[in-house]
Structure 1
Amino acid sequence: MDTGIRYSTTTLACPDPPALADFYAKLTGGEVTFVAERDSASMRSARGRLDFMWVPDYREPQWPEDSSLLHLDFFVTDLATSAEWAIRCGARQYDFQPNAGRCLVFADPAGHPFCLTTVDDLG
């Protein structure tokens, strides 16, 4: 049955949407495609789009304490090289790494956790 529902994007709350769009565009080799002052921004890469929304009382997530966090996964072929790039882009690597052989967990500049992973096909 065609419901007409189609996945569009993931939107991250943050204190500075244009800056976070810049970060993810640089990280993924994408580009910032939309900025509405400080309120919202979008970026697109070859594999999809991310949107960013300003929240006045934004609170940085805590990893792994906020265990119900949504996080983004990015497939990489070389974990070490990609980790170095993420740090140069402005990410910080968390101390707690539950699967460091195949996946590394970082925080973006607003504190959202994201993973660089060599696991691409789970289904």
Structure 2
Amino acid sequence: MVGVLQCVVLDCPEPPVLAAFYQGLLGGEVDRPDRRWKLDDDWSTLHTESLVLGFQRAVDYVAPEWPDPRKPQQFHLDIGVEDLGVAKAEVLRLGGTLLDDSHDVWWVFADPAGHPFCLVWE
């Protein structure tokens, strides 16, 4: 095992609006302070009893049109890890690809099918 699922993140044009929408559907607390991320107009969260949803602003966002594969569904996983270097080695061993390791506390990878996900230092 590499880590634990931290957050499911959805790209969108207006993070606070989408967070409020999901709060109406699921309950929970919008934008609860959390050391793992900065809250601003480009990033909102919804802490529910069972999980955290993140909402990330995407410039030039194009909504998916299910089930049209030309406009696929858009999200990524944030996975908390104790050691980014050790986790990186395991992800690469499993067939993942490093996309960006320029940040201090999170790195972006792609799974073997190309879906992005982040390893986040806990």
Q: TM-score, normalised by structure 2?
A: 0.49
TM-score of the superposed pair, with normalisation by structure 1: 0.49
